[in-house]
Structure 1
Amino acid sequence: MIQHTDVVVVGGGQAGLAAGYHLRRQGLDFVILDAEASPGGSWQHMWDSLHLFSPADHSSLPGRLMSAQAGETYPDAGHVVDYLADYEKRYDLPVQHGAHVGAVRRDADRLLVVADAGTWRAKAVISATGTWTRPFLPAVPGLFTGRQLHTVNYRSPADFAGQRVIVVGGGNSGAQIAADLALDANVQVTWATQRPPRFLADDIDGRALFDVATARRRALDAGRTDTGGVASLGDIVAVPPVRAARDAGLLEAKPMFSRLTADGARWDDGSQSGADAIIWCTGFRPALSHLAPLNLRGPRGHIPTDGTRALGEPRLHLLGYGDWTGPASATLIGVGRPARDAAREIAQLS
């Protein structure tokens, strides 16, 4: 049996919950279908030492401030999970957990959302599935016979006691995981990056980054010169563990290796590093396979949008995937504004 509603939100993490908050304020009927078995989105799968870049009062979804975590300036991932679970409950958002959406299709003047929990016919869909379920692994020549993981699989240094580990990636995940391991005397770490790592100034955290990203988007919208945004400042936020490892001389990056070997990696200059494990902190791609029937993909796998609205399908909005779906929309504090705009546009649909 097909169920009818105004809006289906695909994904119940931070972007999906922000969408639900604003859809309710618009008086729309909606359902949130979330593949996760419990609240918290991807935050419930993060590594043990992960902390936010920003204090709690600058890491909140619309309508409800995140409380501070005792003893922590920057809350950890578990605190975020608790906050999202409380947010979902406080606003009584209609989230169906364990509901995996397989496809979104056109159906006359509506969209049909097919999930393992049922089928919905809606006048609009908000896709908020994020990127965590689509880790990216680069193609590198050679064959490594040891253990290979991605960011999504990493938990703590205890899993690598007495081992040699190569961490690949010069972004925040790569720096944080390399620091986490390097600060443990029982792990030998080699950090490989595509280009020399660029650390932001120590006094810059998520608050400043959000302001810079927002200013860049406003400049672009007004036709002014691109300031470069956050990328112009650097790649890595110097959170306390990263700063500690860097200042202790434990975060000296090597250039990216040219090929894998059976027991490690080899560089262009002929040097080699042995390894028991390689952790690929090489980013993610948007999880958009459920939208394949709409045939909307553009360059780099992105769907072209105007704000959050898909250019090729005005009944579809994409939320929380990065700056291409709203400035800082992949962050807790940044997703509120594009979620509000999407809800307002959907409310105007006939």
Structure 2
Amino acid sequence: MVVTDGRPAPKEELPNFDLSTYLKERKVQVEEALDLSLPLVYPEKIYEAMRYSLLAGGKRLRPILCLAACELAGGTVQMAIPTACALEMIHTMSLIHDDLPAMDNDDYRRGKLTNHKVYGEDIAILAGDGLLAYAFEYIAAQTQDVPAQRVLQVIARLGRAVGAAGLVGGQVVDLESEGRGDIKEETLTFIHTHKTGALLEACVVCGGILAGVSNSQLEDFSSYAQNIGLAFQIIDDILDITATQEELGKTAGKDLEAQKATYPSLWGIETSKAKAQQLIAAAKEQLTPFGEKAIPLLAIADFITARTH
């Protein structure tokens, strides 16, 4: 359940766990797997465009969440790495398309020129399409030591998360809401639980599915992910106001320029920060039954509100 009111709980120290080292090690694993997943073949131009954005850096938070969830549920990195790569392919597709002139019209992403600025709008659209299609192929073809029924569940979950019931639907309502001064909290929450939260939730849930978690455990995973997803977006809204272009790796102040409703515009910055902290506390509570095995996911939850880019 997503909680959005009340005072934030204080952060607790997580024993003997270095999140920075964990994220670096996992990021290296993900980067190596992504590089191997998409070789440069004919026609080179489209593969260059796909690799340009897929290998452009970033926190790799989504694939890392998938790996951490799978390990928490008793699975292995090897079981989850194809799905983790596919999640980053889908996320990269969403960024390529989001940056297009017909959408958010941005020139920079992750500190580099956006895909359409390098390859043109036509190739950028096709690069996003290529990554989306390949993501599902990659899960089906490369996942090993996982029962076929679980792989099928993962593919179905991802399809829903990225389609009209998820990311696409959230983007449509986001576009329709630009420039309107009457956007309510319910609409804003719909946008972000679909546009951002649905894929983040899929990352955690799919990691659990691959490892064979029970239905009740899957509900805990889902609630954790819903809460961190909304907190993630609240912090994004704050950073769009407070961070520089260099810190963000993309154009700062785009939400204000596009007259988008954001959580700070509804609540103010300090209340938004407090709401994000409370969402993180609620997320962490969902993982209490897992004990110390949940430490990586607990630390990632705290990282979401502490990040500066």
Which one has the largest radius of gyration?
A: 1
Under a length normalisation based on structure 2, what TM-score does the superposition of the two structures give?
0.29
Under a length normalisation based on structure 1, what TM-score does the superposition of the two structures give?
0.26
